[in-house]
Amino acid sequence: MKRTFWKYLFPALYGLLVYYTIRLLADSSSGTRFWHRPLLLNTIEVLCSIVMGYIFIWMLNRLFRFFDENRTAGLSYRSIVNELGYVCLLNLVVQNATLLPMAALTDNGLQWEDVVDINVIPLLYSLIYYGVRRSNIFLQAYVQNQLQLEKIANDQLQTELKFLRAQYHPHFLFNALNTIYFQMDEDVAAAKKTVERFSELLRYQLYDQQQTVSIRQEIQYLQNFIDLQRIRSSTKLQLSVHFDEQLGNEQVYPLLFLPLVENAFKYVGGNFHLRMQMTKQATEICFVVENALPEHAGIARKGGIGLDNLKRRLELLYPGAHTLTIQTTRDTFLAELKLILN
């Protein structure tokens, strides 16, 4: 029914609307009444206006189809302006070819106000019709553009995240291989166990890269990493590690806690005290790492590139849902990371 209306009835109504609007304006300026004119004359003008409506709407729909078929990119302001230009041009051609001769052959001939009315009134109606017919196309194009922008932004973020995560791997590999290298000369059995632990860590980093992992998996990874680091650490190390037993299947993004642990082992000094604690507080996971610092620690007090990368990853993965607090004193470095769970 809807298609029948727009295809068969609307063009006639469009032509009648244009005709009666022009007729009312002409009668208002001349002081006449069109119903006092001969019936035959009014009938001819009405029929001409209806024919004009069918011609104009048909040609306009063909023009729309041409635009849609030849559009190579998404809808832009330039393409809309281009379409409007053709709509205006088509309107001028059709109106001047149909209604202008009709005005010249009736009443007192063609007057300047007739030319203005015939060109301006249909133009306004054609622009309204253009807006109504193309609004759905505009909306679809806007949605597609937004989706495309979101996809591009998401792709850029994913690329940046992969780059940030990839920066952890070389440093981790060099440290682990260095540990195994020195163990080979002292204790081959221990070196084999280290290789097994190293393979588990590497497998987690390389293959277990789903969007999120359970906090239990992340804790197991951290525990393996801590055990590996303990092997290559000084015998003076005083290590305290506690993971809350309430933590289990909560979902988190992987490898967010690693930079804090790695940073602590790298810069621990002084009395070699190192404390790690992960707890669950309502809807938050709280991870605290505290390590003693050697004198003149320098970059250790700032955290280095690992913590800078961590801050950026947190901004991308947990916008508005995390806090990272870093405190340094003369001989202590403390970092506290809180993640708000969904």
DSSP string, 83-143: HHHHHHHHHHHHHHHHHHHHHHTSTT---HHHHHHHHHHHHHHHHHHHHHHHHHHHHHHHH
Two structure tokens written together for 176: 């682990």
User: pLDDT value at position 208?
Assistant: 47
Query: In degrees rounded to 5, what are phi and psi of residue 229?
Result: -70, -30
pLDDT tens, the chain, 342 aa long: 677 877 888 889 998 999 888 888 877 776 677 667 778 888 888 898 899 999 999 999 898 888 888 776 666 778 788 888 999 999 989 988 888 887 777 766 667 777 888 888 899 999 998 888 888 777 777 777 677 667 656 655 665 555 555 555 556 667 677 777 777 777 778 778 778 777 777 777 765 455 788 899 899 889 888 888 887 777 788 999 999 988 888 999 888 898 899 888 888 888 889 999 999 988 899 999 999 988 765 555 555 567 877 888 888 888 889 999 999 888 899 999 999 987
Q: How far apart are CA 184 and CA 270, in angstroms?
A: 29
Two structure tokens written together for 16: 């009648």
**Domains defined for the chain, CATH in brackets:** 2-149 (no CATH), 167-340 (3.30.565.10)
Residue 285 bridge partners (DSSP) = 280, 339
The structure tokens 């906090």 sit at: 215
Query: In degrees rounded to 5, what are phi and psi of residue 339?
Result: -115, 130
Identify whether the C-beta of residue 263 lies closer than 8 Å to the C-beta of residue 229.
no
Tell me the pairing of strands 273-281 and 238-243: parallel
What is the enclosing helix (H) or strand (E) of 328?
A: strand 322-328
Amino acid at 144: Q
User: pLDDT value at position 124?
Assistant: 92
